[in-house]
Structure 1
């Protein structure tokens, strides 16, 4: 079983995080091991909106699964060939458990990245992390330069 913590980086800090993903990984990995949210995570990440997450899961992801259960904010999706996904939400992260094919992970990442491009995933225990949607560096760099120049 694979487990992930998925966070949404604040738009204003995304350009700063680009190229420093390892540091973000270390911070989020530590946050995932604690019961309370760390102040740094509160500073760098947006709170997850229930409607956005529900829409991404039910609309984008739900159509390819045969069974979808939602109880007390926790989702369980099952596919006869790929396996199952269990998703719970805290203030700043989605806690995801995938049991089965890696295609489950890909399906989830595509569904979430379709709703926003600032999601960052940390895979517990494996040292894997990354943006769910590839970052267009030039676009962010241009915007960052414009901010510094006052344009």
Structure 2
């Protein structure tokens, strides 16, 4: 079982966060505490649940045989891969994957098709990262400058 908190970083702060992902992980992994709630609200957009539901249904609906919908909760079941439980809070999507790691990839692809600013945190194993790699000309240039030195 793997549990993720997935956050949509505000576009304004996305460039600032690049290269500081470890600090973002430290902040988001403590999201449950009241001391960090204002910081999470400051850096992360409120989730557009309708857009997320559409992405989930469009991308995953055709491959998962069973989709149970509840009050802002989903359970998606694939006969070979396993089950994904999805729930929402104001600034985070909470997903629990039971089964193959391919479930995680399926969910990440579905979400990144809707938006490219999602950042995932899996606190149990201290893993974090962008669901979709970020490419900007500034970072390509600075990486090129580092290689030239």
Correspondence list, 1:1-151, <5 A: 1-31=1-31, 33-34=32-33, 38-138=37-137
- 1:141 CA drift (Å): 7.7
Give the length in aligned residue pairs: 141
- 1:36 CA drift (Å): 8.6
Rounded Cα–Cα distance in structure 2 between residues aligned with 1:140 and 1:112: 24
TM-score using structure 1 length:
0.88
Unaligned runs of 5+ in 1: 143-151
* Contact 2:8–2:117 (8 Å) recurs in 1: yes
Counterparts in 2 of 1:53 and 1:37: CA distance versus 1, 3 Å: farther
- 1:50 CA drift (Å): 1.5
Rounded Cα–Cα distance in structure 2 between residues aligned with 1:81 and 1:107: 13
TM-score using structure 2 length:
0.89
Counterpart position of 2:145: none
- 1:139 CA drift (Å): 5.8
Rounded Cα–Cα distance in structure 2 between residues aligned with 1:51 and 1:132: 19
Unaligned runs of 5+ in 2: 142-149
* Contact 1:15–1:140 (8 Å) recurs in 2: no
Rounded Cα–Cα distance in structure 2 between residues aligned with 1:107 and 1:139: 30
Rounded Cα–Cα distance in structure 1 between residues aligned with 2:35 and 2:58: 30
* Contact 2:27–2:36 (8 Å) recurs in 1: no
Give per-residue Cα distances to partners, 1:80-124, cap 9 Å, x unaligned. 000000000000000100000000000000000000000000002
- State the secondary structure of the residue aligned to 1:107: helix
Rounded Cα–Cα distance in structure 2 between residues aligned with 1:113 and 1:53: 10
